[in-house]
Chains A and B, each alone.
Chain A
Amino acid sequence: MTEVPVTDVPVIDVNVYLSQWPFRRLPLDDTPRLVAKLRERGVTQAWAGSFEALLHEDLGSVNTRLAEECRTHGGERLLPMGSVNPVLPDWEEQLRRCHEDLGMQGIRLHPNFHGYGLQSPACIELLEQATARGMLVQIAVQLEDPRTQHPLMQVPAVDVSPLTSLLAENPQLQELRLILLNSQRSVRLPLLGELAQKGKVFVDIATQEGVGGVEKLIQSVPVERILFGSFSPFFYFEAAELKLRESPLGGALRRAIASDNAAPLVARIHSTPPPN
């Protein structure tokens, strides 16, 4: 085989980024080209955060650009995941704008780049408000291999261990739908399994490694909590796609991970009526 056959099921990719990674240009860091790739690979919907959100402080304009970029180039294929930093002033307004002005269904958090822990009062308040609004919350646990980070910019993985007690003890977070992206390098699979028991916690497969990796993940995390995420364009899209083939999953499980588990997490989009 010199090309990868398109996966035989529709795919919802919950882990893509728009704009530019701060430390290198990526082959597909141009939205139209990324969208073309996703379309070619059978992705019906992709949930997109913004690389700008890592280091920019004016997240209001980052989120506006992200929503605009999704609308312009993605049609109904790209769902923007806004960025909120609860350490910065007026973050409640940023959350409100994501939800009410930009129509976003979720937010993507980068606590390690933004310098707060999940147990901090500001973070808990943000999680509570997002839950009250019915918004999804994604936490990007780690982006780059810590061994290859820029010497002046070594960013540790997000410590997700505070979530165990937070989800178990905070009644306001009972309805929180939380997706941990890129979690497997730093979070052991049994802890991911425990988190999935404590709350409505989901994980993606972008950083699931090991031969037959998805099979291994299923042994710890209930299959209905596993979502397809490619972390493209930082990772090659095909890396995640091929994981669905490497593990002998069967049609039903493959479909569940590829899209069925993710689909109910977002409402259908009615931004623009289809042309007649």
Chain B
Amino acid sequence: MIWDLHCHLSGVAGQTPGERIARLLDYADRMGVERLCFFMGMQWSTDPTPDDFRRENDEVLEAISGHPNRCYGFVYLNPKHEQESLDELERCIANGPMVGVKLWTAERCSEQSLDALVRRAGELKALIYQHTWLKVGGNLAGESTPTDIAILAARHPEVSLVCGHTGGDWERGIRAVRNSPNVSVGIGGSDPTAGMVEMAVRELGAERVIYGSDIGGRSFASQLGKVYGAEIRPTDRTQILGGNLKRLLTPIFRDKGYAL
């Protein structure tokens, strides 16, 4: 059972969200990926206006609408536009089919401006995916590090958070979130560098490590290769490939009546 935490409507031809997701699912079929979470639209904005994120979310809603019980949406928000983001959360999750939240690089996630969003997402049992990186040449102004997500996690110990990309520089990222039990690491969207998954399992436990690809910029192959190639127990592999994501999404799937 493979569930993919981290997919985008990119990397394939297609004029509409529906055309793109259909092509992406051909590859998913070939790689044995059963369920996929999508976020952000056909064109991305690093610091989206409310109109931008509504359009991107509309595209995800359109894409997943033809694939119930297989494709799910995470709502893309910008904490700089707090009320509009709260409204979008209601539209897409409380009153819509989405099951998670995506936050990218508009604002560092340690900022207080995230608190209302995170609290409401927690009430809705939505899973929050926060992009993080640690770039040796310097991050973008609003780009979070794993340390930022550890700070956020301490303020919201009851909300499940995903540290996106494991911080990119995973040897630091894993250490930064080790002491935050409500933070899992998303291993997708980086080179398939050997040792990454082993260290994450060793330091965090397999139950806090989640497979995702970051298609279409990355391949299923390179990111699945991290899990298949890692020297870990078969039970760890099963958890990382899908068990953990299923566990974290189970409460909201139950509320929405989605098949598990």
Given A151-B136, A236-B230, are A245 and B30 also a contact pair (CB < 8 Å)? yes
Taking a contact as CB atoms closer than 8 A, the residue among A2, A24, A212 that contacts B195 in the complex is: A24
The reply on A209 being an interface residue by CB < 8 A is: yes
Q: What is the bound-complex CA distance between A150 and B134, given in angstroms?
A: 12
Most chain B CB inside 10 Å of its own CB: which residue of A208, A232, A233, A235: A235
Q: Which residues of A contact B169 (CB under 8 A)?
A: 147-148
Contact (Cβ within 8 A) B229 A237: yes
Q: Which residues of A contact B218 (CB under 8 A)?
A: 209-211
Taking a contact as CB atoms closer than 8 A, the residue among B11, B194, B234, B237 that contacts A27 in the complex is: B194
Chain B proximity of A38: nearest CB distance (Å): 12
Contact (Cβ within 8 A) A147 B12: no
Within 181-214 of A, Cβ neighbours of B (below 8 Å) are at 207-213
Which single residue of chain B is at the shortest CB-CB distance from A212? B27
Chain A proximity of B244: nearest CB distance (Å): 15
Interface size class of B (residues with CB under 8 A): 35 or more
Taking a contact as CB atoms closer than 8 A, the residue among B12, B134, B168, B194 that contacts A236 in the complex is: B194
Q: Which residues of A contact B230 (CB under 8 A)?
A: 27, 236
Q: What is the bound-complex CA distance between A28 and B230, given in angstroms?
A: 10
Contact (Cβ within 8 A) A211 B216: yes
Residue-wise interface mask of B (180-194) relative to A, using a CB-CB cutoff of 8 A (1 in contact, 0 not)? 000000000011111
Contact (Cβ within 8 A) B225 A240: yes
Contact (Cβ within 8 A) B31 A242: yes
The reply on A110 being an interface residue by CB < 8 A is: no
Number of CB contacts from chain A to chain B under 8 A: 128
Which single residue of chain A is at the shortest CB-CB distance from B137? A147
Contact (Cβ within 8 A) B221 A1: no
Q: Which residues of A contact B12 (CB under 8 A)?
A: 211-212
Most chain A CB inside 10 Å of its own CB: which residue of B12, B137, B195, B237: B195
The reply on A145 being an interface residue by CB < 8 A is: yes
Within 1-59 of B, Cβ neighbours of A (below 8 Å) are at 11-12, 24, 27, 30-32
Residue-wise interface mask of B (129-160) relative to A, using a CB-CB cutoff of 8 A (1 in contact, 0 not)? 00001111100000000000000000000000
Contact (Cβ within 8 A) A239 B229: yes
Taking a contact as CB atoms closer than 8 A, the residue among A3, A27, A213, A236 that contacts B192 in the complex is: A236
Q: Which residues of B contact A4 (CB under 8 A)?
A: 228
Residue-wise interface mask of B (196-236) relative to A, using a CB-CB cutoff of 8 A (1 in contact, 0 not)? 00100000000000000101111111111110111100100
Which single residue of chain A is at the shortest CB-CB distance from B27? A211
Which single residue of chain B is at the shortest CB-CB distance from A233? B194
Within 214-261 of A, Cβ neighbours of B (below 8 Å) are at 232-243, 245-246, 248
Contact (Cβ within 8 A) B217 A210: yes
Contact (Cβ within 8 A) B220 A211: yes
Within 83-110 of A, Cβ neighbours of B (below 8 Å) are at none
Contact (Cβ within 8 A) A28 B194: yes
Q: What is the bound-complex CA distance between A109 and B238, given in angstroms?
A: 40
Contact (Cβ within 8 A) B168 A211: no
Most chain B CB inside 10 Å of its own CB: which residue of A25, A26, A209: A209
The reply on A162 being an interface residue by CB < 8 A is: no
Given A151-B136, A245-B30, are A211 and B215 also a contact pair (CB < 8 Å)? yes
Which single residue of chain B is at the shortest CB-CB distance from A237? B229
Contact (Cβ within 8 A) A235 B136: no
Q: Which residues of A contact B194 (CB under 8 A)?
A: 26-28, 232-236
The reply on A165 being an interface residue by CB < 8 A is: no
Contact (Cβ within 8 A) B225 A236: yes
Most chain B CB inside 10 Å of its own CB: which residue of A25, A146, A213, A236: A236
Which single residue of chain B is at the shortest CB-CB distance from A213? B219
Within 113-165 of A, Cβ neighbours of B (below 8 Å) are at 144-151, 154
Binding site for B on A (CB under 8 A): 1-4, 24-28, 144-151, 154, 207-213, 232-243, 245-246, 248
